[in-house]
Amino acid sequence: MNRSLALITAAATLGLAACTSTPDVPAPGGTTSPSTTTVTTPPRAVAKADDRNRLGYGALKLGMTLEEAREAGLTDLTWASAGDRTCVADDAVAVSRKYGVVRITLPAGAKTSRGIGVGSTYADVRSAYPDATEYDDGWKAEVADNAAYSFAGNPEFVFFGDTDEVFRIKLGAVETDCTPALL
């Protein structure tokens, strides 16, 4: 036990020696006296937490600015594109000046993390998302405090039964200032 304590003390002393040094510094009158200099490691940069919602499809994420999405090659939209001036949109994405990407339409072959895709039935949706609720165009399921999937069905239907199929899936931010037509 004493041998272990001696090894720990020696290791601690060596570790401390690596952080301090005692160079000889001339004292007034020509004599030298030891001084101790402590060397510290510069502080590491702390990663800033991103407060935007990072749910998305592939590299396209909710909350990305239009500029970020364009630089990543994820859209050709510009603020001069057709839109309501606070938002621009196409079939794949809607972007708000204030909130960034607020809607992503999943490609036809894509599936949610719970396996729902175009062609899934509403019984599948309810099984995968038990808290999903019916709305005008299909079923909606919240996937985070600030995001939800909308599973759109055949626009000719008024109600969606268990065997009816999903025609389109959108991931959208709950908070947005875009007109409903763009979402």
pTM (2 decimals)? 0.68
Is the pLDDT assigned to residue 73 strictly greater than 60?
yes
Distances in Å between the alpha carbon of 44 and those of 7, 40, 50, 171, 179?
Answer: 30, 12, 18, 36, 44
Residue 41 φ/ψ region, left for φ over 0, alpha for ψ in the -120 to 50 degree band, beta for the rest: beta
For residue 103, the model assigns a pLDDT of 97
pLDDT for residue 88 is more than 80: yes
In terms of pLDDT, which residue wins out, 46 or 131?
131
Q: What is the pLDDT of residues 31-52, one digit of tens each?
A: 555 544 444 444 443 333 333 4
Which residues does residue 120 pair with via DSSP β-bridges, in sequence order? none
Upper half-sphere CA count for residue 152 (Cβ side, 13 Å): 14
What are 135-148's pLDDT values in tens digits? 888 999 999 999 99
List domains and CATH numbers for the chain.
2-38 (no CATH), 56-182 (2.60.460)
Is the predicted pLDDT of residue 121 greater than 70, yes or no? yes
Residue 94 has pLDDT above 50, yes or no: yes
pLDDT value at 174 more than 50: yes
Which tokens is 8 given? 């720990």
* pLDDT at position 161: 85
- State both tokens at 117: 């895709």
